[in-house]
Amino acid sequence: MSYCLNPNCSNPENPPYSDRCHSCGSNLLLRDRYRVIKSLGQGGFGATFLAHDENLPGEPSCVIKQLRPSGNAPHILQMARELFEREAATLGRIGNHPQLPRLLDFFEDREQFYLIQEYISGATLQQEVKAGGVFSEAGVRQFLSESLPLLQYIHGQKVIHRDIKPANLIRRAQDSRLVLIDFGAVKNQVAQVANQSGQTALTAYAIGTPGFAPPEQMAMRPVYSSDIYALGVTCIYLLTGKSPKDLEYNPTTGEILWEHMVNISPHLKNVLRKMLEVSVRSRYQTADEVLRALEMEPYLDSLAQSLVAQPVGAERVADSGMLHSGSPSGSSAGVAQVAAAIRARRAKMMGGDTSGLYTASRQRHTSGKTNSWGSGNSMVTHGSRSQIRPIDSEGFQSAYSKGRRDFALHNLSCLNLQSADLSGTNFHSAVLERANLQGSNLYNSDFGRASLNRANLRDANLSKAYLSHADLEGADLRGADLSYAYLNNANLRGANLCGANLTGAKISEEQLALAKTNWMTIRPNGKRGLL
As annotated, the residues of the chain forming the CATH 3.30.200.20 domain(s) are 2-118
Long-range Cβ contacts of 450-456 (<8 Å, 24+ apart): 451/382, 456/418
CA distances from 110 to 30, 66, 107, 114, 529 (A): 11, 12, 10, 11, 43
Measured N-to-C along each axis, helices 266-275 and 287-304 cross at an angle, to the nearest 10 degrees, of 170
Among candidate residues 85, 23, 95, the one with its CA nearest the CA of residue 63? 95
Model confidence at 190, pLDDT cuts 50, 70, 90, reads: very low
In this structure, of 121-130, 318-327, 405-414, the range with the lowest mean pLDDT score is 318-327
70 in Cβ contact with 76 (< 8 Å):
yes
* pLDDT given at position 479: 94
Span 283-295, average pLDDT: 91
Provide the 8-state DSSP code for 436: B
Span 70-74, average pLDDT: 67
As annotated, the residues of the chain forming the CATH 2.160.20.80 domain(s) are 390-531
Span 193-211, average pLDDT: 48
* pLDDT given at position 327: 34
* pLDDT given at position 133: 93
**Buried b vs exposed e over 405-427: b needs ≥16 C-beta within 10 Å?**
bbbbbbbbbebebbebebbbbbb
Residue 353 annotated in active site: no
Of residues 10 and 349, the one with the higher pLDDT is: 10
In this structure, of 207-216, 276-285, 348-357, 420-429, the range with the lowest mean pLDDT score is 348-357
Residue 171 has pLDDT above 90, yes or no: yes
Residue 319 has pLDDT above 70, yes or no: no
* pLDDT given at position 71: 64
Cα 361 from Cα 382, distance rounded (Å): 13
Burial (CB count <10 Å: 0-12, 13-18, 19+), residue 531: exposed
- Percent of the chain topping pLDDT 70: 75
* pLDDT given at position 19: 86
CA distances from 32 to 5, 15, 28, 316 (A): 14, 17, 9, 69
Model confidence at 227, pLDDT cuts 50, 70, 90, reads: very high
* pLDDT given at position 44: 54
* pLDDT given at position 477: 96
In this structure, of 48-57, 364-373, 515-524, the range with the lowest mean pLDDT score is 364-373
Residue 287 — φ and ψ, nearest 5°? Answer: -65, -30
Residue 483 has pLDDT above 60, yes or no: yes
Residue 36 has pLDDT above 80, yes or no: yes
As annotated, the residues of the chain forming the CATH 1.10.510.10 domain(s) are 122-190+204-285
Going by CATH, does the domain composed of 122-190+204-285 fall within 3.40.50.720? Answer: no
Of residues 530 and 338, the one with the higher pLDDT is: 530
Burial (CB count <10 Å: 0-12, 13-18, 19+), residue 451: buried
409 in Cβ contact with 362 (< 8 Å):
yes
- Fold held by 2-118: Phosphorylase Kinase; domain 1 (3.30.200)
* pLDDT given at position 207: 66
- Identify the helix (H) or strand (E) that includes residue 82: helix 74-94
- Three-class secondary structure of residue 374 per DSSP: coil
Among candidate residues 198, 34, 212, 27, the one with its CA nearest the CA of residue 116? 34
Among candidate residues 347, 267, 246, the one with its CA nearest the CA of residue 258? 246
| Torsional sign, CA 7, 9, 11, 12 | negative
Residues 6+ apart with CB under 8 A from 245: 210, 211
- Fold held by 390-531: Pectate Lyase C-like (2.160.20)
Cα 329 from Cα 269, distance rounded (Å): 11
Interval 510-522: pLDDT, tens: 899 999 999 889 9
Interval 436-470: pLDDT, tens: 999 999 998 989 889 999 999 999 999 989 898 89
62 in Cβ contact with 53 (< 8 Å):
yes
* pLDDT given at position 72: 67
Across the chain, mean pLDDT equals 77
* pLDDT given at position 212: 92
47 in Cβ contact with 7 (< 8 Å):
yes
Among candidate residues 435, 96, 298, 287, the one with its CA nearest the CA of residue 427? 435
One of 32, 53, 105, 163 is an active-site residue; which one? 163
Interval 404-430: pLDDT, tens: 888 888 889 899 999 999 988 888 888
513 in Cβ contact with 531 (< 8 Å):
yes
Of residues 341 and 465, the one with the higher pLDDT is: 465
Model confidence at 481, pLDDT cuts 50, 70, 90, reads: very high
